[in-house]
Amino acid sequence: MHRKAYILLLATMLFWAGNAVAGKLAVGHISPMLLSGLRWMLVIPLLAALGHRHLATDWPVLRPRLWLLMFLGFLGFTVFSVAMYGALLYTTATNVSIEQGGMPVFVFAASFVLFGTRTRPAQFVGFVLSFAGVAVTAIHGDIHRLIHLDVNFGDALMMLAVVAYGIYTAAIKARPQVHWMSLMTVLCLGASLGAIPFIAAEAAAGATILPDATGLAIIVYVVVFPSLAGQALYIRAVELIGANRAGLFINFLPLWGALLSVLILGESFEPYHALALLLVLAGVLLAEYSGRKAAAQVV
């Protein structure tokens, strides 16, 4: 069960790292609000085609919680996407990497507020280690970059995204026991409806950019991998090992992003990348060992 969750989470973080790269590449090829809305709107027909039987079976269970689940879809999918794609217009990938690495803190806090979930000391130490690895990656091993880090509107947007997804990650733990396709359909419905006002506001401001060939390719990627596959795998992983432990793997996201930069942009792999990888792995392993030990004691 644990190994399966680890594989699912590592794949999820790879897809999401690709989403950040895609969002940066999308600048000038498709506007951020339109991209955010389309990624969820286009997932719904795929889910309907593949899982309509599951949805029909699960509907009696989903219906009493429909509005709550749709709100979680809006919070975790729309708010996060809108804020992240918007942030990439104003801030750097370095800033976004650091801020995404802070997600586990908000998962821990939201889990405590919503469910009274306690964070063990070893889990907290593991978070500090893994976040240190994220910071080393983001500042390219140069402490002066951290000291002189600029804070702007994009950084504020990204922090909003981090908080929204932290709450979503913790709250999704209380999901009804239904097939993942049924759950995703309802979440994506909430996300799609929630994206409409943002798309309308973008159009009213004259900022809409219709997708060109590059924009269309980006849409295909974000629909299939970060949106459909990534969210489904993450939901399943949270089921297997819980929100706190699953949330810690988000620290792999900037590392996957660095790897994609090497492969796609031709950047070199520096010694600080190796140091960051060791710190993140050590933090995840420590926190995960503590989480498994706590789960075993409860059982």
Read off the pLDDT of each residue in 18-25 and give the average, rounded to a whole number.
85
The 10 Å Cβ neighbour count of residue 63 is 11
Distance CA 235, CA 243 (A): 9
Both tokens of residue 240?
Answer: 């297997």
Q: Quick: pLDDT tens for 206-246.
A: 999 999 999 999 999 999 998 888 878 888 888 888 776 77
Q: Does position 299 have pLDDT exceeding 50, yes or no?
A: no
DSSP per residue, 63-131: GGGHHHHHHHHIIIIIIHHHHHHHHTTTS-HHHHHHHHHTHHHHHHHHHHHHH-PPPPHHHHHHHHHHH
Share of the chain above pLDDT 70, in %: 85
Q: Quick: pLDDT tens for 226-236.
A: 888 887 888 88
Helix axes 32-41, 213-222, angle to 10 degrees: 50
Q: Does position 200 have pLDDT exceeding 90, yes or no?
A: yes
**Burial classification of residue 26, based on how many CB atoms lie within 10 Å of its CB (0-12 exposed, 13-18 middle, 19 or more buried):** buried
Q: Average pLDDT over the chain, rounded to whole? A: 82
Q: Quick: pLDDT tens for 49-95.
A: 888 999 999 999 999 999 999 999 999 999 999 999 998 888 766 66
